[in-house]
């Protein structure tokens, strides 16, 4: 238990742990994300967690997860978010639960609306991938996990330390250059390819090989055409 929140189930996590919890005051299920003791001892990890809470807590959009509260318990920071039912976009793609082409485009459009909204707030997510998008029980897409997001005027990342998931990283991220909203647009394009074909457009046996291909090899759009995606969408 943390404050009024009664933990019911451990949902997973790495540097932070996520629990399904009950809020008896508001009479609703919530998700509580709490930084581990080890991560709390790391000033940079703690600052990143606080920045995530501040960033996500200030966002209000139908396609973005809501953060209700932020606090500390025994020195460990935690945030309280809405509890999303449904399934992650990664699971939906793997199980074939993303529907036909019009439905896939609806999902992509909702994700794009979420991105447009955060970019209007001068926020770059920097980790757009199926794992950070959730399809709720109404079929609505929700953008999550602002752990490495940053406002364009801030730079709390160590020089030379690249953040992001390799498959979806834009060339400028790979090179460690200044990141703008275009990095999210690039990642959205990779995600769209995967949503439409079920496979990643860039693969590699190692991170080094993957980064080489991102920087040097043009994307092969043949899998899109083979999947029956109309030429206008391929373009």
Choice among 127, 136, 145, 184 that is catalytic: 127
Residue range 167-173: mean pLDDT, rounded: 92
What's the whole-number average pLDDT of the chain?
Answer: 89
127 part of the active site: yes
Residue range 186-213: mean pLDDT, rounded: 93
Q: What integer pLDDT is reported at residue 74 of this predicted model?
A: 86
Q: What integer pLDDT is reported at residue 225 of this predicted model?
A: 94
Q: What integer pLDDT is reported at residue 185 of this predicted model?
A: 96
Q: What integer pLDDT is reported at residue 201 of this predicted model?
A: 93
Q: What integer pLDDT is reported at residue 158 of this predicted model?
A: 39
* Residues whose CB falls within 8 Å of the CB of residue 87, separated by 6 or more in sequence, listed in order: 95, 97, 134, 135
Q: What integer pLDDT is reported at residue 151 of this predicted model?
A: 62
State pLDDT tens for residues 6-46: 999 999 888 889 999 999 999 999 999 999 999 899 988 88
Which percentage of the chain shows pLDDT scores above 90? Answer: 67
Structure tokens given for 155: 């730079």
CA–CA distances in Å: residue 217 to residues 102, 180, 231: 30, 22, 21
Decide which of 126 and 102 is more confident: 102
Q: What integer pLDDT is reported at residue 15 of this predicted model?
A: 84
Q: What integer pLDDT is reported at residue 73 of this predicted model?
A: 87
Distance between CA atoms of residues 58 and 36, nearest Å: 24
Distance between CA atoms of residues 108 and 212, nearest Å: 27
CA–CA distances in Å: residue 79 to residues 26, 30, 163, 229: 16, 10, 22, 41
Strand partners, 72: 77
Q: What integer pLDDT is reported at residue 197 of this predicted model?
A: 95
Distance between CA atoms of residues 51 and 122, nearest Å: 14
DSSP alpha helix (H) spans, 58-133: 89-95, 101-120
Residue range 182-192: mean pLDDT, rounded: 95
Residue range 121-147: mean pLDDT, rounded: 90
Q: Does 48 score more than 50 pLDDT?
A: yes
Split at pLDDT 50, 70, 90, the class of 164 is: low
Q: What integer pLDDT is reported at residue 165 of this predicted model?
A: 77
Split at pLDDT 50, 70, 90, the class of 150 is: low
State pLDDT tens for residues 62-79: 999 999 999 888 888 999
């Amino acid at each position: 238990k943390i404050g009024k929140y009664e933990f019911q189930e451990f949902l997973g996590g790495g540097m932070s742990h996520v629990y399904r919890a009950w809020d008896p005051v508001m009479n609703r299920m919530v998700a509580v994300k709490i930084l581990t003791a080890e991560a709390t001892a790391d000033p940079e990890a703690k600052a990143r967690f606080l920045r995530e809470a501040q960033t996500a807590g200030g966002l209000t959009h139908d396609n973005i997860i809501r953060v209700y509260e932020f606090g500390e318990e025994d020195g460990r920071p935690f945030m309280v978010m809405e509890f999303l039912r449904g399934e992650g976009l990664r699971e939906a793609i793997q199980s074939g639960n993303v529907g036909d082409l019009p439905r896939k485009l609806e999902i992509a459009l909702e994700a794009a609306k979420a991105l447009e909204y955060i970019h209007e707030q001068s926020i770059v997510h920097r980790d757009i991938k199926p794992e950070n998008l959730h399809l709720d029980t109404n079929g609505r897409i929700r953008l999550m996990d602002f752990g490495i997001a940053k406002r364009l005027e801030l730079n709390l990342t160590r020089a030379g330390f690249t953040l992001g998931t390799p498959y979806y990283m834009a060339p400028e991220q790979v090179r460690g250059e200044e990141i703008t909203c275009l990095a999210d647009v690039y990642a959205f394009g990779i995600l769209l390819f995967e949503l439409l074909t079920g496979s990643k457009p860039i693969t590699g046996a190692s991170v080094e090989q993957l980064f080489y291909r991102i920087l040097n090899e043009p994307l092969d759009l043949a899998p899109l055409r083979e999947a029956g995606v109309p030429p206008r969408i391929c373009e």
